[in-house]
Each structure stands twice: as structure tokens, then as C-alpha cells.
Structure 1
């Protein structure tokens, strides 16, 4: 058996670099098989061959047999390709059966095929001979072995293989003295030789026109040969001149006259085929001639054209104009006759069916435009609704006193008042402002609650971090803009929602720009929403010659094949590429290398590094600084990391001002004494000019026009997806050659469009196996969406699918051609066991490549002297305490929360932990509050040696995406006893179980989780939820019953 599914159907034929045969599957279907010799399995050339074969599979054309599959054949020890089997034989075998008119029209088909694939895919054939041109019963020509010879010539590890048929190969293929020229010029030569061979074989005297065509195609120097346009034009002239008698007769019935028939026979007609009629035996079409437009039926069974009616073109100018513009010409010279004779009439059905199929594709394209409109309308409605309820759901508090704590902290005593925000909203606000990935907030403090009556209220930014429900004290830290003299003793605190309103408006503006084509690259926007229209194009794999990243030892970073593919795609493919980066596979490293490579290729390129989160932007920019790449970090309320603060726009301006003033003073001092002597009286004027110049420099700020020049001089700009559209940057002409969007799987369509409309080329980096973007966190908006769902369910099977809809990243990566996407597959973040489990449970089941653990030095492991020799530990709490549900429907479990301080105390025994970061995560906000309360009551960090508060973060899973910690403690709280609840979401669990670099401790009820009912979408399958699969793979000695069994 071949590939465990095919059997030979005839003998194997050997030819140079390949072997061929026919095979059949179990159902009796016949296929054509080709084995490629000279390439070893699992070698670098084998990977390149796979990429090329995948590309060839996508290079669809009516004159190319379809590639069914390709794989390594262990029996033949060679790669094999399975093609659809055309009911055709080679031109070599049928040369005497094919008449010149059929032959020349077939050559035109082949030339059109070669031209299209060269233009669209940069593909050439490389070995055109009569043996690999097939002819079917309708005299349609097909090319086989497309591009295979060049692949073999390039990659073969067996030098003795004969690659080309020398009789038809261009001289530059075998004579190195002749310049190579473009690849397609070799194919032009071979076609010319095939034409010469055909007429010689049939002993037909070549007409002068044909002889000239052969001579011009077979020039010795490649640059002197015809190109495809010239070749096809000359060939069409030959066929239209009817040098050979045409046997293509069409019987025409119905309404007609002699003038119409004569014009039909001019062979200068166009046709437009309409969609299928209800009768499958009929094809509707319109034909135009020089003077007429005819409405016709093609009767398939009768092989007959019936003219229903016709009129002069001036009587239906709109229809005539449409067919003239969009219609097709007949594929062969035809002779129309209204007189019936006992002859074989030409069958137009295949040609008309082909046009029907093309028309259907155009219809699908228009449907795609409708889907774009529908998607944009959904987000417009959603954003409008959110803006309507924004103020109602913002923080609004009445306070009756405040206390100052230094210059950057303040606490307010909050009055319990039904008119203002409840405790739940206060805690929700604190959660949003708490690391990781904290949101930025601004506040307004006023003596009155009536905003219209407010006079010069005090505004400040800060982080609300603690609220005591008994004392009703709300504490703020890291405050900026506090003016204690302006704070009334009693008053009101309002969340300043202008920032959130502005963010919604930016998304709405991006949508408007897409609707009105006010974008940097219209083609990019089309392909983002219609990724299936982006056809694959061959890209020669070449290893990176210059690598700019270094490893920890200072050596050039060694990139894997997939990483190199991602980098090369980003540099060379237009206008869109997509990179899937599972946890710990080096997305930041690859993004940084892409920036270096772009700037090496084009030092003038303008690049935007963007992401939903500030951390993702900062990480890339930090790497670039090491190589002294000029950058600007655009930031809002929240400051970027310390290393980047001097690279913000205002600091850049200050630095530029300081440098210019320093140079001005230095230059002035250098020439001041000479000026005094030579200018005397004018010296005072010169001094004043100098002072004015310094004053002008000092007055420059973000609003100065000269800053556009400064922005233009910077090659790389970093900003979050939303902040790049801030009003304060509207005066800058932000246009980018490349936009690299990290964590794009977390962004909604509306959020992703903000930087996309600024891009010439877009590189999306993300992971659709992690959390999808949240449409809204507002309960009132969610309720509105539920009502909307009832009338908008045509695309979505359930409310969960509707609410948790795919990000733009996921929509693109699941539809785009494989040539444009790549997956990073080497993980350096975590231990071997952690990587293998993540791959097996969250990636491989969904068709992704396996993630491979990279061997790492022992110092990268946790190296803690634990009783369990593992990097994964499950602490089983049993059934002794069941979870509770709070008033907001969020789950909590006091027993598992109480184990967190024990685990922290256990970790504190090890000196190494003082250098480790710790993340405590759970799926529910109620449990986060429970854990924080228990840790606050039971842990005195002053008494701990190694675990310090600034190294411990307690949060929900959803805020941890894109982050990592040395040690992760994952508290598995469930919503109900019979189901997994949130824990059934594979994407969420993937995030939770892949944040650790050294050690993962899972806390939960093992038996209860493993026995929980599967979600509805898995009920009738044999598949387990991802969490159950993960836990069932744990080794028995990794599971403990109490903390003492760990430490």
C-alpha cells in the first residue's frame, strides 16, 4: 500500500528525477502519482520541498491537474505527490491525432496558464515537453510536472540525476556561458520547441507566421525572446487568420438572420453566461457581435445554441455595454450555421461551465463585501450602545472626608448612598486597576454632583487599590495631579469617562475610514476581511544570512525553520502575513528580528509596533534599544517601563531641545569674541538673536510644528492599538510601511482596525488558542446583546458563540492561504513536561503543529528541593468544601483560598525564591478577592525571608494572557458541582496552564473535575474537555493531598 490508502494501477515509469504511475484507492477512484527522487526525509531540503508542494497545490488553474496530497512514501523512500487523474493522454502519444487548429488553441491555453501562474505566483514550469502536456477528448491541454523539475534541480541531494529533457530545454539550462535571464523565458523557449516539434512530426509546412513565432520564442539569448503577452498576441493572430480549416461547428436554431450569422462567424464576439437556470440541461447566455446582442440558450444534451431573440445594440445599450466590458471571448475559432448537417458539432458546455464557475466566484466576492458591512455594523451598534451606558456604569461616589498620605497617596471616607456606586462596582474598579495589565483611570473631585455647576474641579489620575467595607475607606496610590488645596472636605468623586469615550470614538472612526476607503492600503483592508482571496505565492526559502539577535552567551541566535519562515514572510509577503505564537515560543524575539531585517532591507521604512497591552509594546522596544534603533514610545496616563521613559515623545522633544541649546551655546562661545570685535555695535543685536533662538527652542512642546520633522526622523514607533489614534497625534501624518500587531488575538475587530487603517503592510502576531477578546464587561450591554442575539442568529449556533466571537486574527488565520501564515513551535519558556502537555492538550487536537521543548540549562529549572521531583504539582483538596456563589454569580472556595498562604510559606523556605516571581491565578473574581483577603490576614511579608509582596501578583486568568511568572499557583475553582463552567473553555485553561517558567502548582478537587459533565458541544463526541485531558495525563507521583507532601 502507498501511504496506507493507494495501490498501484499499472507499472511504474522512471524518468530522470522522478517516477510515475497510476494508483487507485479503496473506492476505485484512479489517481496519478509522482515520486521525487534525491531528497532525504526530514532534511532541510525536504522542508523546502513541502513548502513548494503546498504552494503548487494552491496554484489552481483549469490547465493544471489538481494536487490531492503529498507525503513521504516509506516504500519508495521518496516524497510522492498524488494528482487528480485527467482522462487524457500525452501530446507525445497523440501527436498524429490532433489537428493544427486544436493544437494551436491548446498551446494558447498552456501559454495563458503559464502567464497567470508566473504573474500571480512567480511560478514557472521548467521542463515543458510533449511528454508532460496532456490532451483530453475535448482537446483541452493540461500541464503536468509543473515546477517539479526546478524543485528537484534546486534541492536534489543526488547530483547524478538527469533533470531536463535537453531537446526542449532552453540553452541556458545546460550552457553556463549563456546568461540565465528570467525563469519564464526558459518556458517560452520550450513552448517554441514544442510547436516546432509538432509541425515536424506531422510533416506540415509551417506558415511564415508560425515560423516567425518559433524563431522569436527560441532566440538563444533569453532577453531577446518574446514575453507571454507578445507570444499570446501573435498566437491569437495566427488562429484568427484561419490558416487551417476550422472543424469547430456550432448548430444555431431559433430566431436569426444572415447578417447575425455572418457577424457571429467574424470570431470577434463576446459572451456573458448567467447563473444556472432551473433546468440543469440549459445554460443562459448573451452574445454580442459588432452590431447585435443576442439572448440565447445552450442546450447541453442537444449540443445546440438556440437564439431566443436578438436586437440591434442601440436598442439595449446598457446590456451591450455590460457584455462588452465583462464578457469573455470564445476559446476557439467557431463556425456558426443555421443549416443542420450530419456532423459532430463542437461542445461548448465545458467552456460555458467554466465561465459559470468564475461568475459564481465573483458573486461570492460580493457576498464577502456584505459580510464586511455586517461585521462593521455589529461593532458600530455595540460601541454606540456602550457609550450610551458608559456614564451610568462609571464610578460615582459621595465622600465625607479625606486623608493625605504623602504627595502621591490619598484615602477617602465613602458615604453609603443608594444614588451612587455600590460596593460591587468599587471592587470591580479595583480589579481593573490592579496588575497584571492594569487599566488607567482619571478622576474628578468636586464639591457638587451637578457637572454643569462644577467650577474648576480637581482632576487627578491614580490607582484605587483597597476598600474596607466596614470603615468605608477607599485608598488611592501612585497619584498624579493631586492638589490638596483644591479638594473640598466633603464632596464627590467621579470617574472621568472622557478617556473611555475617546477610545470608543477612535474605534468608530476606524470603522468609518474602512467604510469610506480612507485607509493607507485598500487592498490590505480587502484581504483582512476576505483572506481567502489572497492567493498563495511561491517564496524561495533562504536561510537568514545576517542575524541581529543574540543568545545569552552573545552568539548569533539560531532560528528554527518555522521562525525563519515567519521572518521571511513578514519581510517579503504583501500586504498581510500572520504569525501564530503559542506560549513561550519567542514571539518577541521574532518580532524584534523582523524589525531589524526590515530596516536592513529598507533603512527608510516606517514601522509601528502595537498591541492591546503596554507590556507587549515595551518588550519589543526594549530589545530594539540594545541595538540603538531610534524609537519613540507614545503613551497615555500610564508611563512605560523605566528604560523607555526617556523615549516618550515629550522626553524626546526635551532631549532634542537640550542638545540644540547645548550646541548653540557652544557655537556662540566659540565665535563670541570674534563677533564682538568685528561687529561692535551690532553685537547687542546678535546677542539678542541668540537669546531669542534659545527662547524659541525652550518653548517647543508636543504641539510645535517642528515635531513632525522629529517624528519623521524616527523609524520605529510604539503605541497601544487604541492610543496611536489619540487626538493629540492628529497633526502628525502617521503612515506606516509596516504595522506589527502583537497579541492581536486579544483584539476585537474594531480595536484591530485602528492601526490597520494606517498600514501599508500588516503583520499579525497572536494565538487563537488563547483567550478571545471580550466584547463587553458591562452587564447592561451584555443584556442588550442577548436581545440582539435573538434576531441575529444566522451565523451563530449559540449565545456563547455569538458573545465569544472570534478576533480578527482568528478570522484571518483560519481562512488565509498557508503561504501567508506560520507557527512558532519551539518553546524555551517552560520545562519539558509542561511544554509537551500544553502541545498535546491545546494545540495538536486542533490541527496545529506540535510544540517542541528546547533543551535548556539546569539553572532555568526551579531547582527547589521539593519532595516531588516535578515541575507540575497537583494539590488535591478533595470534596470536603464545596464552592459558593456570590451575589454577582462569581464562584469562590474558602478551603482552596486558605491553602495559598501555606504554599507561599512553603516556598519561602528556599533562598532561590527571592529571585523568583510568583503569580496566583484563578478563574473567578470572587475567588481573587477571597485569596487576597486570606493572604492579607495570614501573611506578614515582613517575617518572610524570600517571598516579597512586590514579587507576588494575585489575579484572574483573563488578565494574565501574554504574561509570565517563574512560579504559577492556579486555583481551580468551579462554578457548579456537575459542570466545569468557565473551566470547560480550552482557551482560558491554556492561558492558565502556560504562564509558568519554572514551576506550576494546581489546586483543586481532582475527582470532581475529572467526573464533571462535558459541555454541550462535546456531549456526543469521544473528546474530553481540554482540562480533563490535561489532568488525566498527570503522573500519579505529581499529585499530593496536602502541602506537607510538597515541601
Structure 2
């Protein structure tokens, strides 16, 4: 097993000694001691082939691998459990801290044979109570960390669990499907693994006999994904695989389903509604789909949905009431998570009567019955309700009974049908769920043979004849896959595994002090850890609840317990849930999916996904939490993208892979614009003249958006009849595109996206707002066809498949292309006659969660035939490099003159990041002139006139490695001084003048606490990542690095050896850069040594002592 090397061990011991020597708040000392405790186990279990999602599993594994004594294992788990559960009294903190010191030294001595002259005794704790297991007992769910296995007739395994974590226990699976499935999983997956034992009996010999199990329970699979694997003639997890590999295709049935769900929501709010009243709002649900329909098809659809409406009205007014379901106690579209059963789901209608401890699940189905089972239900619908029943069992720990119903809105009678709970059927659904997770795991690695074996299951001749829909999908997949050549298949499989790893990382991540558990952090991470890592808006109080309204908004404010800083931004999706006083609030209650629509220092507003008639839960709880949500749709787009790449024309594929050069255009275009420089003119004309594609490299300040994109639009809009789509990675960049073209087009373009992520001035251009005022399909069609330019983020546009068939786009121009992974674009671009990609691969790349080693291509054919070696590289960077190496100079170009940074800043940036090729644009005096500010003393004279300053600060006594109070004080004072400089020079301070950058949110929090609160609206304080694309006159950077090892965490080094994070930070500045940090630490990296040596110096005490 890989352990800490000597240097890491020495650093760890120094940190340990520092924790013990620094005198600070007991809670703070305990928290940082626990961080070291966690880091120790990370260090000794940090193997790439084992995935740990909890500290519990790391300790359990270490105790076996390093042969810990039972007493040490018990103490390790005791310390972990007491810190994680929190809520300790002040007088208990000291003894717990002493226990932490004791176990850390014991661990160090055992693993590394570290000796100490100090005798550290184990303290006595009143809290250490471990319940013993009653013999001959029953447990509904046991989370088991399985460490070994014996292949007997009844699978025998040893495991640890949370109840007695220091004891290795013996488990068995009863004969049957689960025993066979467990053997199959062990065949393909290395131990240790985590499973949940279901319905387990403990016998007199202390053996645990389970009837079923859930594999990787923290990886939640959607209820619908599982239930769709069940058909009248049987079940198969291949239905899931087929849906994963094939692109989504919309259908009239999906549209009807969405409309019918909307009817139910509206009728729950007002059961007296007439069909005539809802017709206008039906049009708003999917205006583009309706616009594409022939008149006969539309009339037919309206007739069909009217039947559903009338039936639902009868159900709401009569049948629901007859079953005891009242509108007042019903919740619409609540979501629930169950890591006990490894599933998640969103119910159509959930009714809960707290007094009776009775819940009712109603699942709405707009389809017809087909080969109904013995209960008069479609089998997949029945399984869906049984899975929801398991979720309710999990939420209420088996204490609440559920009645399950399926509502068939197309039936004339017996529409509301009871779905009885059958445990054996629930077991079968969990078995299919485990098969799905095993498929997911097998598709994580670039093992071509494993992929072939799995894909062979989708060969049409191997699909049972009774599975008609699966056979249809298998034919669709193999029609494309079988005709692809060996290189294309290798490309597809490599990227499939890459996307799948990103998908799993978003779901369960990995455990670690500086890591995240993805969606699973909702229940795996303690509250204090979420707060420390700024991943939660906690303890919010509702001030106004408008969830009954058409626009269901809830206004909240921070309480005295709230953490004031978080990662959230307006437009983010989130889950909203009540605080019930436990660490498992998110699992014990329903979750409301929502969007953050407004936010300031003390207030937050959210929009719920569904209106709510029942407000009881909102009145029941005082505090509420907001945490990030994840959407599977972004990954589905990438899976679809690589499949669409296989489907695309051979010539397109060969050009993307570099096997064919882009075609040279025979007709050269001469576009002229007096506002362009000679270089910009030359590149604009080359890009316009290119036939297939053009790759534009644009370093900071070179006019990528304000000049180049505007010029492209000017030419293509005014001199051709092409339809154009302008895309970018972020909404901020899309706003900038709108800013550059708005006047040019007279506002005649359409913006696609959310109103909450769009600047106010561009909201009238939004497609969603334009369609609200349109009364007819003809008017909508006319509006869409009269606009030839559309603007959007890549993700928003790819989600609008309803645009196809109304507007055909000829040209796509994509800004920030260097932040987009290859699967996001490679299939999508094949739909256009031409594409122009714009980016800067020397700045921050696309965000990737998996380890670097996993992103490297291992297939020899790909490595031999293409220049693709790393899948975390953007398509833009790979193709730019490919075109440059191949000498295809008609297909790429670079802007090497910038108008942002002053010459003195550029003199460092250009040679260190841009091959010494980046220069200032001639004729802009500001870039070479002296500052226009007047100084009133020596210090302000230095601040104004020295374009790049470094302020060396002491390391300080902070226990955390990501804060530095001395730096924070200097930053706060510098902000005040610069504000005074603006005032003395009679200049208004705007939000575009001063910016503060620091890599760590904990340092942001410290600086924010020290700064004048009145400056928060004028001075942006944020991370490097959030600043990409922006600029300020003065940039202040606080590095807050206290150890050499942390230098890697503030860097992002490219294959060329360029630190892209540092590049972004420095190139945000127009006039001045002020750097603050420890020279001794920073200079250990060559680029920082160069930077510090280049800068002028000023003593930090001069700043702190300066009187304003």
C-alpha cells in the first residue's frame, strides 16, 4: 500500500505538533486535529484502484491492511463518530481533543514506527458507549464494508459496520438470485466494497443472514430507470444500457405526458378549472413543439388531452377524496433520496397525514394498459410504485405505512388503481438495480474487451424476441456501431468510459478533506464540513412563501446560525429541505428541487420546480438548508454526442481526428472594417474564407468577443443569408456576446436560457419571454424565422432539441471553446456546415473531476493514428495543436496584440505564458503611458506607479493551511487605500475598478469579514475560476499558501508547463497587480520565483500602519 513519503510524513508531524502548540478556540483546535486525522488515513489508503466515499471505510480498510489492534480501531472509530455527529458540550470537547491526540500518535507509531519522548495517555471519556448486538435479532438495513469473501454455496463474507465498527463480522446471503449476483459482482470488482444488507437476521452464533443486498448504495439510481427495465414478458438491465447509449428522441407521447402532469398540478390547485381555461397555458409548455405540428396533428392532440383533463378532473373531485387523499395534505413533485436502497425518485403526488402516520403515493400515467399484470397494472408502472414504497420505508424508517396507487388518466373507469406491496417484487427490483450499477462500474475503465462483452448484449440476435422495444433499440445502436471502423470504436469506448467516470464522480465523488462526495455529500458529509467548505446555505428562515402562486417563489433570510459565505450563484440549481435537528435531514424529509433566483449578503430567494398547495411542511420547521443539485442531462448530452460522432459523415470524422486536412476555400473573402487592426482584419478574413472550420486563439484583451465575434456576425448577417448560432460556455460570456452584437443587430436576435442567469437588459431577447406574449403558432413561426441569430450557452442550446425542424442553423461560433470537453462538441458540430471555435488553451481548461492518470488515453490505435492523448484536453486545444503541427495554417490563427494590460504587466505575462509573442495594440496610449492618478505621499506613489508589486507577509499561526490573517489584513487595508486614491483623484469607484482574487474560499471569508461592508458592491472578492473572462483596473491577489505542498492546489499546469491559474489571475489586471504572500514558500516554484523577482517590493507593515 502506498503511504506518505518521508517529506510528507515530516510535514504531517509538523502540522500535528502545530495543532498542539497553538492556543485557540477548543472547537477550532478539535476541527483541525480531525482534519489531520482524516488526512492521515487518506495518505495511507490513497490507492487509485480503491474508491473510498467515507472516513469509516478508510479506517476499516486500514485496520485490516495494517493489522491494527482491536482497541486502536475502536478508538479511531470512536473519535471519528463523536466528531462527525457534533453537538458536544463545551466540557466534553477537551477530552475528545485529547483522545484525538492519543489516537493520532498511536496510528503514527503503528504505521511508521514514529517515536515520541512524551508519554501520551488515553483519556477517559464518558461518551464512549457502544451498543452490543442482541443475539437472534433482526435489522432492516446494515451498511456493510466487505473486506473478504469465501466462495461457498451460501456466499460468506466478513464486514465492518457502523454499529460496532471495530468488530469484524460474518455475513451470509440466503440462497437465491442475490447470492448468485454477489458472486458475479465479486468476479468483476475487487474488494473492499460497500453493500447494504437488507432484512438481515442475526442468529445465536452472531452470523448475519441477509435476504438481499444493495451494491454501492450511495450511488443513487433513478426509480424510473430501474422500472423501465421491467416488461410484461420479463426484465433485463439491458433496457437501461440501451437508453444510455442511444440519444433521446422526443415523441408525441412524451409531450402528452408532460401536458397531463401539468393538468394534475393545476387541478390540485383549482379543481373547478375548465379545459378552455388551460388551453393557452398548454401552448406555453412546449411552444416550439406545437409550432412544428401540422394543423390536423394539433387538433388530434387537443382532443386526446381533453379526455385526460376530464378524467383527471373527476379523479381529483371524487376518486382521490374517496380514498382519503385530500388536496390540502398533498405535495406535488416532491423528491426523495434513499441511500439505504440506492435509489432516488420524484413522485407525481405525495399525500401525508401526520396524525394517522399514513402516506399515499400517486403515480400518474398517461399511457394505455398493455399486457397488464394480475393487479391490472403495467408491470413497469407497478415496479415504479414498489420502489417509491421502498423510499418511503427508508424515509420513515419503516414507521409509516404507504398506500400506493397508479392513476391511468386515459381510462374511462377504474382510473385510480391500487398497487399492493409485495416484498419479493421489491427484491427483484433491487437485483436489477444492482445489475445497473455493475454495468456502470464495468464501463468505467478503458478496457476494450469488457466494453465489447457488454455491447455484445445489445446485438439484435441476442435480444429475446419478446423484448420488442429492446430489439428495436439494439438494432438502432448496432446499425451505427457495427459500421464504425476500429479507430472510431476505440475513440467511442475511451470517451464513454471517461464520461462515465465524470458521471459517477458527480454522484459519489470521493472522500477527502479537500475532496467532495458529489451528490452523496448531502448525507455523507457532516454539517460542519459542508459549512467549512462553503457547500451549503444553512439555517435559512422563510420570510415569505409564495409557493402557491404561478411563479412559486420562497424568500428566505440568513439566521444567526447561518454561514454567510457559499459557492452558490444566481441561476444555480439546488435542493431545499428542512432542518430536523439531525445530520440526516436530507434523507428524513422530502426535498424540493429549485433554482436560486436572487441572493445578497443576508437574503436568498428560490423558485420551486412545482407549485405547492400544502404549506404544512413549511410551517412545521424553523430552519431550512440549500445544497447543490446535479443534473444527469449534461452527461447524457455527452454520451449522445460521441454516438452522434459515430453517425456523422466519414469526411467530418476524419477531419476531426486529423486524418484529413480541412478543405481549402477557393474563394477568398475580403471583409473590411475600419475599427479593426491589421492583424484582426487578416484573421477575420481567413476565418470567413475557411470552408470547414476555423480555430481562433485569443489571449486576454485581444478582442475575441468585442471585436472578432462582432465582426463575424456583421459579415454573416449582412452579407449572407446564413442562420447563425453564437454559443459560449458560461452565461457571463453569453451576456458579453449580447453586449457586442445588440446594437449591430438592433436587438433582432433570440437568447436561449434562463431569465435568472441573464442580465436584465437582455431579458427581452429571451425565447421564453418572447413566446409568452405570442397568441398563435403562425406568429411564433414567423418570429423564429425572422431572427437569423441565436445566442446561448452550449448546454442550454443542446437541451433545446425542439428547435430542429423550425430553424436550421448553418454556422456555429463558440466562444470559451477551450473550456469545453471533446464529447460536449464532437457530435454536435457535425450538424453544421461550418464552425468557428474561439478560445485560449493557456488559460483555465475544462473542469474534470477524475484523476489525471485516468484521463490519459491507453488505446495504442488512438495514440498511433491521432494526436489525442488526454481526454481532459478540450477539442479546441487538440485541434489547434493538430492544425499547427500539420501546417494547416488556413484553418487556425492567433491574435497576438492585446489592449488590456499595461506594458509593464505584459512584459512578464508575454514571455512566461505566451511564448513572448503577445504585444500591446499600437495607438492605445493607456497601455504605455504613466498612470493618470496623482499621489499624495510616498506609499500611494508606489502603489500607483509600480505596476507589479509583491508584499511579503509572515505565515502566521493559523491552524488551517488555507487562510492567512496577515494577508487578509493587508488586503483589507489596500482596498481602503485604493478607494481613497480614487476619492482623492475625484473619480467614481465602479465595480470594474478593483478586484480581489484568492484561491481559497476560507481566505475569501476572512477577507470579507475584515473589509468595509460598504465596499462589497463595488469590489469583487472571488476565486480565480470565477474571475476568468473578467478584468479590473487594479487586481489584488492573496495567495494564502502556508506550505509548499499547497502550491499545487493553486496551480493548473498545462502539458507545455504553463501555470494557467496564475496566467488567469495576472491577466485580469489593466493597470496594477499587487501580490501578497509568503516569498519563502512561493519561491520554491520556479514560476513564482520569476514573478517575485520581477515585482517591486513594499513592506507589509507600511500598509498596515498607513493612516488614511
Larger radius of gyration: 1
Normalization by structure 1: what TM-score?
0.48
